[in-house]
Structure 1
Amino acid sequence: MKKWAEITRRRRKSFFAALLALAHIAGALTSVQAVMETRTAQGAIAWAVSLNTIPYAAVPAYWAVGRTKFEGYVKKRQDRIDETSPFVRQFIDSAKKDFPDPDQDIEAHFLERLIRLPTTRGNDVQLLRNGEEIYSSIFRGMESAEDYLLVQFYIVRDDDLGKKLQQQMLAAAQRGVRVKFLYDQIGSRKLPHSYLDALRQSGVKVHSFISTRDRFRPFQLNFRNHRKIVVVDGRQAWLGGANIGEEYLHADPKLSPWIDAMVKVEGPAVQAVQVPFLEDWYWTSGDIPDLDWAPQAASTGKSRKVFVLPTGPADRFETCALYFLHMINNATHRLWIASPYFVPDEQIVSALQMAALRGVDVRILIPENCDNFMVNLSGWSYVAELEKAGVEIYRHTNGFLHYKALLVDDSVSAVGTANFDNRSFRLNFEITLEVEDEEFAQEVKEMFLHDFADSRLSSAKELEERHFIFRLAVRVARLFAPIQ
């Protein structure tokens, strides 16, 4: 018995030694990829050290959250781009012919080269404020659908609001409308099968955006499809910050009232909104839906200049970060930013400092209480370095400020899904609508002013007066900014 026990002990020891060796080999090999692919030198060093010293934890962490390119999506987009591009090309050619931009300024040229979508005129854009106004507008639009209905949200809950959305899709399908529903697998992970089965049984095409669907890259857990899009018949579209959940109707006892914004757009920009939905739908289903790609002018007669900016980790460039850098650098006298999650990287911080030093009125509007504890902590770490350059950070104290908006000078504004954080800049699929129009910019300005009135000016002195443990937690949270 003793001899057998000794043999068993030696075998167990050899087994664990082999596992240890394999872990370090995996760590060394993975560190090579991290050094080759990680965006910054600091990030590459951090991953290389951790992968070689604690590979048991670092290797799975790297494969889950360490990469910034959504490789499977990139491959599928390139493999059969010839199948989707004719529809997109049809829209681009029609938009440039029927709704040309006579200015063709440097701004438009940059944006079109960045995203490969045209700037369009002939649009009407309506700013929608908070849940009641947002959902009543969306549901009225869904009720008017005659041909097809595209619905995409990051979070969909099976609560009263979620059931209303479900009923709208069911009713549309019963009228003979082609309904396509896309949700993010992680954001809507609590959505029950019964909710989805009822839709499928009524003829609604349902798919989840799954970042791990590529069998060769099963661990891409850090990517999210954060877009919120509704398109009716290719003639009306909605996009912005609001998901589908009762908390957006002030049902969250801790965070209410929930402050949000979306935009409704009519005109040729609607076809541009369809482009990212087409790509996302193709990624999830392999199907190319038959959509209306012939742009038409808005019926209101307004002619607002609009650019639709879909961004994500499958892009050629870091399009979201480049866009916001461009906007910051272009500001001449006003730059107001609203974001519930404000965790910028160093290049954004530097650009904000330079804008303030140029004399631009730079204001950042963030919530006093965020629903993400780590984001709330790390946000404090930026106050001192921005404040010394003249940037003002306002903390909204009346509920949870969740909209994402930008106002540049007197005529350029943007509303969408992208936050000022690394996740939106490099890891999430997002969509932003930029409007060049003084009247609409005035509406966005009034929204900002209303929320500035419910805010307080933050200062570095506040952090200095907090307990050492809190200040340490702020610095530690800053270290995790790249994956928040």
Structure 2
Amino acid sequence: MDQLTQIIAVLGVFLYWLILGAVATRIVIKRRSIGVSFSWLLIIYFLPFVGVFAYMLFGELHLGKARSSRSKAMYEPYGKWFSTLYSHNSHQPDKQSDYAASISKLCDSQLNIPSLTSNELELQHTPEQILHAIINDINHAKTTINMEFYIWHPGGLADEVAKALISAANRGVKVNLLLDAAGSRQFFKSEWPKAMKKSDINVVQALIVSPIRMFFRRMDLRLHRKIVVIDNHIGYTGSMNLVDPKYFKQGDGVGEWIDMMVRITGPVVPVINTVSAWDWEVETNERLLPAFPDKAQCTDTSSLVQAIPSGPGMPEEVIHQVLLQSLYQAQKKIVITTPYFVPSEQLLDALVTASLRGVEVNIIIPRRNDSTMVKWASSSFFSELLAANVNIYQFNDGLLHTKSVLIDDEHCLIGTVNMDMRSLWLNFELTLAVDDIKFATKLKGLLQTYMDNSDRLSHDEWQKRPMYRRVIEQVFYLFSPLL
């Protein structure tokens, strides 16, 4: 019996090391960034069994067999829809700045989605302003309302949005609501889904989380987009979830969440609607491709906009590439706002290099964060940034959740993307590249109010932090590529 036990033990150890070697080989041949590969190798070798199991669940971008098959079948019809936009009268490459032209060429080759002018943008930055505007537009909807959010949390003005949707559905408006199952779990536990379905609102959970599904699809893959499209004519996107901050995460000790959204009219709205239709079809197998935009007229207040979606089924790293291109092109000033700052090696190098070549680089992040892991990982980059004279501002008046990049006070990126690995490589996201000095000036004013309510981190003060903090930072730095 002892000999049999020994044989079983030896075979078990051999089998484990065989699996370990296979997983390690898989990590290496995937040819991801060195940091990502190194972090996963650390996990699988230093956390026996747990590390291998974690990699099987979270290590690769598995969308699921059914969704993957649908996505492949969708390439051709959606590609044709986007290609038609190149003949639209709002596609005017000659009106692009050099900055916009390089971003547009990148998106042409990667996404086959053109930049479009003749868009009217309104920057909204208070919860009351944003939610009341959405409610007002819902109340005037005539045919369709398509909405998708990572988080819908009941309470306050969010409930007023729900009531407006039910009222719209009762008067004959077709309402489709797609919500991430994990982010909106409180909504799905409330009475609202049942009430909405009674009014024939299509309420769908995206990427449902369950013990069984975790073996067939990566569980931390999330629908992170925030989109509202009304009558294929009015659109919203930005950083804000469908929440009233006064009723959301009040017990986390980080203050109210601070966000912004952009209200849009013009030819880019059907593009955003098509991105939403893509997500809807991936989840439901129902095609909702919208009508093409009407002929547009450019005015003195029009903005040139490039819509940039990302996520499974779309070209990898496209938003990461756009971010890098934007930073490389900066000549005078960069202002970044993000709640979760865990940059890739390439983004860190681009920021440091920009500062060293004389560009004023400002990064605004919340002083208090709802993610302890991200807080420590983020801090691990401060020394290198401060040594290169990058300005780091810590926002004091709540959890700054706005995601934006402003280049030379003239061009900007705004949307749902955090500057971390999860947003850049994993989740379904949406960013707008806006080439319009007038709009950029408005964004500049908002970002200045953020900086006015922040404390600038001093390099000398940072160097005085205790040793235990440095040790914790370095531990989280090793795993930062996975956050």
CA RMSD of aligned residues (A): 2.8
Give the alignment of 1:6-85 within 5 angstroms: 22-48=15-41, 50-51=43-44, 54-68=47-61, 70=63, 72=65, 73-85=67-79
Give the distance between the partners of 2:9 and 2:208, measured in 1 at CA: 33
1:408 aligns with 2:407: yes
- 2:228 maps to 230
CA contact (8 A) 1:211 1:224 kept: no
Give the distance between the partners of 2:258 and 2:160, measured in 1 at CA: 21
Give the distance between the partners of 1:36 and 1:211, measured in 2 at CA: 30
CA contact (8 A) 1:94 1:295 kept: no
In the TM superposition, what whole-angstrom CA distance separates every residue of 1:375-431 from its partner, at most 9, and x where no partner exists?
Answer: 112222212211222211111112221101111113212221111111111111111
Check 1:238–1:330 CA distance in 2 against 1; reply closer, same or farther (3 A cut): same
Instruction: Report deviation, 1:336.
Output: 0.6
Q: Give the partner amino acid of 2:132.
A: S
SS in 2 for 1:146: coil
Range that drifts further, 148-157 or 29-38: 29-38
CA contact (8 A) 1:250 1:256 kept: no
CA contact (8 A) 2:90 2:118 kept: no
SS in 2 for 1:190: helix
Instruction: Report deviation, 1:174.
Output: 0.8
Give the distance between the partners of 1:102 and 1:459, measured in 2 at CA: 44
1:134 aligns with 2:126: no
Give the distance between the partners of 1:351 and 1:141, measured in 2 at CA: 40
Instruction: Report deviation, 1:442.
Output: 0.7
Instruction: Report deviation, 1:190.
Output: 2.9
- 2:105 maps to 109
CA contact (8 A) 1:28 1:52 kept: no
- 2:188 maps to 192
Check 1:452–1:51 CA distance in 2 against 1; reply closer, same or farther (3 A cut): closer
Check 1:121–1:473 CA distance in 2 against 1; reply closer, same or farther (3 A cut): same
Q: Give the partner amino acid of 2:60.
A: R
CA contact (8 A) 1:345 1:422 kept: yes
SS in 2 for 1:365: strand
Instruction: Report deviation, 1:283.
Output: 0.7
Check 1:299–1:255 CA distance in 2 against 1; reply closer, same or farther (3 A cut): farther
Give the distance between the partners of 1:25 and 1:52, measured in 2 at CA: 13
Check 1:10–1:283 CA distance in 2 against 1; reply closer, same or farther (3 A cut): farther
Check 1:128–1:98 CA distance in 2 against 1; reply closer, same or farther (3 A cut): closer
- 1:169 maps to 165
Give the alignment of 1:24-423 within 5 angstroms: 24-48=17-41, 50-51=43-44, 54-68=47-61, 70=63, 72=65, 73-90=67-84, 92-95=85-88, 97-103=89-95, 105=98, 106-107=101-102, 108-193=104-189, 194-210=191-207, 218-247=216-245, 252=250, 254-289=253-288, 291-297=290-296, 302-423=301-422
Check 1:21–1:81 CA distance in 2 against 1; reply closer, same or farther (3 A cut): same
Give the distance between the partners of 1:224 and 1:479, measured in 2 at CA: 24
Give the distance between the partners of 1:436 and 1:87, measured in 2 at CA: 23
Q: Give the partner amino acid of 1:415.
A: I
Give the distance between the partners of 2:167 and 2:317, measured in 1 at CA: 40
5+ residue gaps, structure 1, are: 1-6
Range that drifts further, 121-130 or 151-160: 151-160
Check 1:316–1:373 CA distance in 2 against 1; reply closer, same or farther (3 A cut): same
Check 1:232–1:12 CA distance in 2 against 1; reply closer, same or farther (3 A cut): farther
SS in 2 for 1:239: strand
CA contact (8 A) 1:211 1:220 kept: no
Tell me the percent identity.
27
TM-score norm. by structure 1 comes to: 0.90
In the TM superposition, what whole-angstrom CA distance separates every residue of 1:173-201 from its partner, at most 9, and x where no partner exists?
Answer: 11111111101122112333543232223
CA contact (8 A) 2:118 2:267 kept: yes
Range that drifts further, 18-27 or 156-165: 18-27
SS in 2 for 1:124: strand
Q: Give the partner amino acid of 2:50.
A: A
SS in 2 for 1:394: strand
TM-score norm. by structure 2 comes to: 0.90
CA contact (8 A) 2:181 2:207 kept: yes
Q: Give the partner amino acid of 1:82.
A: E
Instruction: Report deviation, 1:18.
Output: 6.4
SS in 1 for 2:93: coil
Range that drifts further, 281-290 or 104-113: 104-113
1:472 aligns with 2:471: yes
Give the distance between the partners of 1:94 and 1:297, measured in 2 at CA: 12
CA contact (8 A) 2:338 2:401 kept: yes
SS in 2 for 1:126: strand
In the TM superposition, what whole-angstrom CA distance separates every residue of 1:327-355 from its partner, at most 9, and x where no partner exists?
Answer: 10011111111111111111111101111
**Number of residue pairs matched by the alignment:** 475
CA contact (8 A) 1:173 1:202 kept: yes
Instruction: Report deviation, 1:61.
Output: 0.6
Give the distance between the partners of 1:138 and 1:347, measured in 2 at CA: 37
Check 1:195–1:27 CA distance in 2 against 1; reply closer, same or farther (3 A cut): farther
- 1:3 maps to none
Instruction: Report deviation, 1:103.
Output: 3.2
